[in-house]
Amino acid sequence: MLTSSFIKELTRSEGFETAGVARALAHSDGEAFREWAEAGMAGRMGYLTDYRAAIRMDPKNLLASARSILVVGKVYNAPRARGERPPEELAWISRYAWGDDYHIWMRQRLQRMVGRLLEVEPFDYRICVDTAPLLERSYAREAGLGWIGRNTCLISQGLGSWLFLGEVLTSLDLEADGPPPDRCGTCRRCIDACPTQALVEKDGRWQLDARLCISYFTIELHGAVPEEHRGDIGGNVFGCDICQDVCPWNRRAALTTEPAFQPRNAEPPLEAMAALTEPEFRAMFRETPVSRARYAGFMRNVALAMGNSGVGRFRAPLEALARSPMPLVAEHAVWALRQLAS
């Protein structure tokens, strides 16, 4: 009774701009993922290399009765609002973290949609939103949502790459879609624009070496940022959008109208961020992705951004951070002071 076309139409009524269906079969990209992880490119992200790596190889490890995977995409793109402040005085936060935590929004909408479907026909299901061990970009490609670009992001020809992905593994046998052609052509803008050269080629395939990625340094790494890469971080205090900002397919990318993903605290002044107490940090970024960096990690990033800014009046707040009881913050503030003095 439930068809692919009916379910896709229902996803649109729940606010998703794109959807498709893939077969719940082990994907050939699993071997490439295994080689990537064994090469150490996951850095210290243990959740990508521990026992969950084996689960990721086959969606049936998540739902034994799975026959189809419904993949949905939600646009989160919003215009920047720099105001009158010069960019070097602002803390740059990755676009995906400007609004609410997408994990919560996506799961709630998918759960509501599944509830509506269950009223029509019973079936087994499991909802996955980013944190589940699933090759979600690979299945999004199989479901026709886009191709995987050289920046390793899923790119939709009509929507761009600013997409949150979510999946519903289901026992329903739905008509599957097919992958679109790769439309990166000979473009290398993302590769050439990356300050740390984190996009690397192996056997004709581009991969992200997380150990060189600004997003990894500012979000996932809980220790010291390698000194040779601190200057490359620029003003980024949480994540990095450079490889997507320069992508030609994002020139006319769709904009979200969803209130949950409208910008708030998107480009706060660095000086104000440097003065945040831990309770203030938690209150400001509660239920947003920024909280993942944790207070010490965020203040470390703020110190680096100040040092990279070249703004002389940041010396006083950096001197305060250099006296922080958190060694991680103090170390990076001392480094930043040296950059302002040079």
pLDDT tens over the chain, length 342 residues: 899 999 999 999 999 999 999 999 999 999 999 999 999 999 999 999 999 999 999 999 999 999 999 999 999 999 875 554 557 899 999 999 999 999 999 999 999 999 999 999 999 999 999 989 999 999 999 999 999 999 999 999 999 999 999 999 999 999 999 999 999 999 999 999 999 999 999 888 899 999 999 999 999 999 999 999 999 999 999 999 999 999 999 999 999 999 999 998 889 999 999 999 999 999 999 999 999 999 999 999 999 999 999 999 999 999 999 999 999 999 999 999 999 998
69 within 8 A of 22, measured Cβ to Cβ: yes
Residues 69 and 193 in one domain: no
For residue 238, which amino acid is it? Answer: F
Run of H or E including 112? helix 102-118
Classify burial at 192, counting beta carbons within 10 Å of its beta carbon; exposed 0-12, middle 13-18, buried 19 or more.
exposed
Q: Is 265 a domain residue?
A: yes
How far, in Å, CA of 234 to CA of 304, rounded?
8
Number of residues assigned to the chain? 342
Q: Is 63 a domain residue?
A: yes
Of 2, 253, 28, nearest in space to 139 by CA: 28
Q: Is 260 a domain residue?
A: yes
Residues 135 and 229 in one domain: no
The dihedrals phi and psi of 12, each to the nearest 5 degrees, come to -65, -35
The dihedrals phi and psi of 265, each to the nearest 5 degrees, come to 55, 35
| 101 is known as an active-site residue | no
Residue 186 makes CB contacts below 8 A (sequence gap 6+) with none
Q: Is 87 a domain residue?
A: no
Structure tokens of 290? Answer: 């920024």
Domain count along the chain = 2
- Give me the sign of the Cα torsion angle 48, 54, 55, 56: positive
Q: Is 22 a domain residue?
A: yes
Q: Is 262 a domain residue?
A: yes
68 within 8 A of 176, measured Cβ to Cβ: yes
pLDDT tens for each residue of 28-42: 999 999 999 999 999
Domain residue limits at 263: 189-341
pLDDT of residue 86: 57
CA atoms within 13 A on the CB side of 318: 26
Candidate list 50, 58, 124, 130, residue with the active-site label: 130
How far, in Å, CA of 146 to CA of 137, rounded?
9
Residues 235 and 293 in one domain: yes
140 within 8 A of 92, measured Cβ to Cβ: no
Q: At what angle do helices 294-309 and 315-322 cross, to 10 degrees?
A: 140
